[in-house]
């Protein structure tokens, strides 16, 4: 499996991908999932991939010279939207070629991609492209996209990242998001590829491959959990069965009438009811609650 995330900000773009494709007790595969298509001064585009590795590699190979109906390739597309269409066409071409053979072996055609960058004359743009070759674009109300094991790293991004977030803060958030995923899912693993692109530079500005020895990522792994624990410890415990006039941290008070849904025991069982349980049942009966 994999986890990839990309962010489109006022200041530019951030891309982060892991490199694990298989996870098991005796088989772990490592393949890089970030590909850069760059003509310095004219365009800088990045593709992140998830899903079936063979499909993703076939698409990447085909994409280098795939032409649309107008005869343009990724290297000559006039806009990022047209470039995304060319990528979608390449996915459909691989599907037409391979999907029937995959079906015979019970393998679904599974590939998803994040594609973004900037072509001279337009702003930075970011797309998520699906197995059918169709895609959506990141807009101002959805400034990031994820593929793969997205659920573990999503909450921190939702709380932190917005259009005006700086590139360094977004990169930090992306790495925390990745660390949360690494801790919760064995199918995501190091090394990581991190690319930070400054808008209008039209060339890769900052890139690093991160392994377990990377000083900054080790600091994040060590400190993030400690900071979370410190915040957690600073939150008060809930107050149960408080008097109605009590205000503050009240989870339940004596006026609340909620009761659990109790499943009755089979009638043939001989059940000895404890005195406390008898008292609870009596109170429920007085309150008109049927169990």
Neighbours of 285 (CB within 10 A): 11
How far is Cα 155 from Cα 145, in angstroms, rounded to an integer? 13
pLDDT tens for 57-107 read 999 999 999 999 999 999 999 999 999 999 999 999 999 999 999 999 999
Band of pLDDT at residue 289, cut at 50, 70 and 90: very low
How far is Cα 85 from Cα 210, in angstroms, rounded to an integer? 31
Structural domains of the chain in order of their starting residue, each with its CATH number: 3-231 (3.60.20.10)
Residue with tokens 């999503």: 154
Band of pLDDT at residue 187, cut at 50, 70 and 90: confident
Q: Counting every residue, how long is the chain? A: 291
Q: Which residue has the higher pLDDT, 159 or 282?
A: 159
Helix intervals (H) in 114-265: 154-160, 167-184, 215-233
Entry pTM: 0.88
């Amino acid at each position: 499996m994999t986890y990839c995330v990309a962010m489109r900000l006022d200041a530019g773009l951030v891309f982060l991908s892991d490199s694990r494709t298989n996870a098991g007790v005796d088989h772990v595969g490592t393949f890089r999932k970030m590909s850069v298509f760059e003509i310095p001064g004219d365009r800088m585009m990045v593709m992140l991939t998830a899903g079936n590795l063979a499909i993703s590699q076939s698409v990447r190979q085909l994409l280098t010279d795939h032409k649309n109906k107008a005869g343009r390739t990724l290297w000559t597309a006039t806009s990022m939207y047209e470039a995304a269409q060319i990528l979608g066409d390449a996915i459909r071409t691989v599907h037409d070629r391979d999907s029937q053979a995959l079906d015979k072996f019970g393998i679904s055609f599974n590939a998803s991609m994040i594609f973004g960058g900037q072509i001279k004359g337009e702003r930075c743009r970011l797309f998520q492209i699906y197995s059918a070759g169709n895609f959506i674009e990141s807009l101002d109300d959805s400034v990031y996209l994820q593929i793969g094991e997205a659920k573990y790293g999503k909450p921190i991004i939702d709380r932190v990242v917005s259009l005006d977030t700086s590139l360094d803060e977004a990169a930090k958030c992306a790495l925390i998001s990745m660390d949360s995923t690494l801790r919760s899912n064995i199918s995501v693993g190091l090394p990581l590829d991190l690319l930070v692109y400054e808008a209008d530079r039209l060339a890769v500005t900052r890139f690093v491959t991160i392994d377990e020895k990377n000083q900054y990522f080790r600091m994040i792994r060590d400190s993030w959990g400690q900071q979370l624990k410190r915040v957690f410890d600073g939150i008060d415990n809930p107050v149960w069965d408080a008097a109605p006039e009590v205000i503050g941290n009240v989870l339940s008070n004596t006026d609340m009438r909620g009761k659990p849904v109790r499943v009755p025991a089979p009638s043939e069982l001989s059940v000895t009811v404890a005195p406390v349980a008898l008292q609870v049942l009596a109170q429920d009966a007085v309150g008109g609650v049927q169990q």
